[in-house]
Amino acid sequence: MLTFFVIFQKTTGRPSPMPSADAPKDIINKLKSIFNVGEGIMVYNTGVASEELEDDEIVCAERRAGKSYCKEVENYIEATRLDKIDPEQFAKFQEYFKNDLEQTQMVATRMDVGDSKTKVIYPEGAESEDSKWLLVVQHEQLKQGVLVEECENVDSASEENSTLPLEDISKCKQNFTYRKLVVLVNGEMKEEMVKLPSNCECSSS
């Protein structure tokens, strides 16, 4: 029997060394650096990963605030590499690289809404119709200026109406529209409908 045991050990390789007495403690310490470890070494995650909502790597302050566009995308230059794109692509979509000047003049003639702000933005990122985030083409000399109207305080009472009775206080709702812009997908320019603020609708409660 002893001879069989020795032969068996030789044919199956060297046995693994026994773990040290401190090994379980080391494992627990490593887990504690990542997770909270409860009684009985039950492991559970204590929060949402910081990049869970930005898994497509389009990160900006506006997106974190729940808006549908990004004014400035972190690492935009490295992500787009617009300097490497064939100039013919820019020429193909030349009609898009302009500001909404005519619409700006039209808005200027409207009655101002105290709870909203109208402005031209140059979004570097925006949310598509199928809720995917896309990089919008904004070259140093070729930009897509889009006119938007945003509520200053969505679903909150207007400051100038704060002295009115509750039933007469206006509340504001942000409306959106889908606008076709030139975006970058896998290094190629293409047209895509993206979600942008259109107007602020205020009404009394």
CATH number at residue 84: 2.10.90.10
How many domains are contained in the chain? Answer: 2
* 37 has a pLDDT exceeding 50: no
Give residue 42's domain range. Answer: 17-47
What pTM value is reported for the model?
A: 0.64
Question: Which pLDDT belongs to residue 28?
Answer: 54
Residue 2 domain-assigned (yes or no): no
38 and 77 inside one domain: no
102 and 132 inside one domain: yes
22 and 112 inside one domain: no
Residue 86 domain-assigned (yes or no): yes
40 and 134 inside one domain: no
Query: Taking phi first (over 0 means left), then psi (-120 to 50 degrees means alpha), and beta for anything else, what does residue 50 get?
Result: alpha
119 and 43 inside one domain: no
CA torsion sign, 140 to 123 to 193 to 61?
Answer: positive
The three-state secondary structure class of 16 is coil
Residue 84 domain-assigned (yes or no): yes
* 118 has a pLDDT exceeding 90: yes
73 and 140 inside one domain: yes
* 152 has a pLDDT exceeding 70: yes
Residue 64 in contact with residue 48, Cβ under 8 Å? no
Residue 9 domain-assigned (yes or no): no
106 and 43 inside one domain: no
Rounded to a whole number, what is the largest CA-CA distance in the chain?
Answer: 102
The three-state secondary structure class of 42 is coil
Per-residue pLDDT averaged across 77-99, rounded? 93
107 and 188 inside one domain: yes
